[in-house]
Structure 1
Amino acid sequence: MFSRLYEDIHTAIENDPAAKSTAEALTYPGVHALLFHRLAHALHTRGFRVTARIISQFARFLTGIEIHPGATIGRRLFIDHGMGVVIGETAVIGDDVVMFHGVTLGGTSSNPKKRHPTIGNDVLLGANATLLGPIEVGDGAQVGAGGVVLSDVAPGTTVVGVPAAPVEE
């Protein structure tokens, strides 16, 4: 757990030029939210679901970032600013993802199955991007600020708009 915390702190320093030190990165709400999520997720997967939800709601109160304890998060996620981020129960996030404030990984069904997005590795999710349903965002993709993604995004593709569509680079 401490190695992951160290990794999360250094990910913040690497991704944010405003973070000048470890002490400063420790003040980031995204780092706090990930620390609480790792604890809540461990409890959730061991069947302590109510305790996990209490921890996740406490983290939401402190940080403004809501991560369901059931969500699966890879390594080195960087949540910049973070306020208003929502990550649903069946969401899966790969490694080295950068996510800005207001991002929603939401569901489109109340059916208890896979209903939230799967985000690949090395993905950038711009501010206030909304991704809905059991869609997949491929490795290296980018979602522009304010984009609403309702279907799969191919690896290496940049999408923008409402609804989000690929752009030529």
Structure 2
Amino acid sequence: MLGNLIRYLDSVVARDPAPRSRWEVLLYPGVWALFWHRIAHRLFNARLFFLARAVNHLSRFLTAIDIHPGATIGKNFFIDHGFTVIGETAHIGDNVTIYQCVTLGGSNPTNGVGGKRHPTLEDNVIVGSGAQIIGPVTVGKRARIGASAVVTEDVPEGATMIGVKARSTLVKAETYAKEFMPYGTPCKEPCEPVGSQRVDELEEQVAVLREQVAALVEANEQLARKAEKPGKPACKGV
């Protein structure tokens, strides 16, 4: 169990450049919301619906994240910041990342039958802040949902969806993002030390380039001075 927890915390650190250690991740509301949901989901599957709801309400009070006990969630699920709503029949795969104020909402079936009402997010999906995914739609693997997009239809694998109503950008995720990069920044270590180290490297390169430029200027000046000296006459007495 401890190994699973460490692997989960490491997966969050890999997707968020902010924390400096695993201990910080343990304070994230999304981590605690997932912890409480695991308990509520087991109670729900055991048909202890009232207890499951009680745990759900406690979690929502503590984290401001509302995950219905019936929702099915895979491994390494990460809610960044929170204020998210996930419906009862939602199904979330592995390594899914959701930013703040996202709703995985349900549609109202016209036939009166409950059934599957909420979205399915397959593995490695990223959902931007404020996005609304409504109804029993499927978001394919490695798809990206842009901030504030409203998705009401199935999303192909690797697609990037933006706008209201969401439409594809026609650029597949595989063409520009082989691995998850939080905020488009490859921050495997804290950003500030990495940034300062990179600045130092660039300053050294600039210093070398300045020396090379100065040497070239000096060489050109020497050639110009030689060219200005009067040459000897080709034939004497002419």
Judge same fold: TM > 0.5, yes or no. yes
**Partner of 2:182 in structure 1?**
none
2:50 aligned counterpart, secondary structure: helix
**Structure with max Cα Rg:** 2
Q: Taking structure 1 as reference, are residues 2 and 99 closer, same or farther at Cα in structure 2, changes over 3 Å only?
A: same
Q: Please identify, of 135-144 and 6-15, the stretch whose mean Cα deviation from structure 2 is larger.
A: 6-15
Pick from 149, 154, 179 the counterpart of residue 152 of structure 1.
Answer: 154
Contact 1:159/1:166 (8 A) holds in 2: yes
Q: Which amino acid aligns with 1:62?
A: L
Aligned-residue offset at 1:13: 1.3
Give the number of the structure whose residues are more often strand, by fraction: 1
Once the two structures are superposed, residues 103-143 of structure 1 have per-residue CA deviations (whole angstroms, 9 ceiling, x without a partner) of 10000116421000000101000001000000000001000
Q: Which residue of 2 aligns with 1:81?
A: 81
Q: CA deviation at 1:168?
A: 2.7
Gaps of 5+ in 1: none
Question: What is the DSSP-based 3-state SS (H/G/I as helix, E as strand, rest coil) of the residue aligned with 2:6?
Answer: helix
Paired residue total: 168
CA RMSD between the two structures: 1.2
SS in 2 for 1:24: helix
Give matches, 1:77-116, under 5 Å: 77-82=77-82, 84-109=83-108, 111-116=113-118
Tell whether 2:139 aligns with 1:140: no
Structure with greater proportional helix content: 2
Runs of 4+ in 1 over 4 A off after TM superposition: 1-4
TM-score normalised by structure 2 residue count: 0.68
> What is aligned with 1:121?
123
> Which amino acid letter does the alignment assign opposite residue 87 of structure 2?
G
Q: 1:124 touches 1:140 (CA, 8 Å); kept in 2? A: yes
In 1, the alpha carbon distance for the partners of 2:2 and 2:57 equals 22
Partner of 2:29: 29
Larger RCO, structures 1/2 (Cα 8 Å, 6+ apart): 1
Task: Quote the sequence identity (%).
Answer: 46
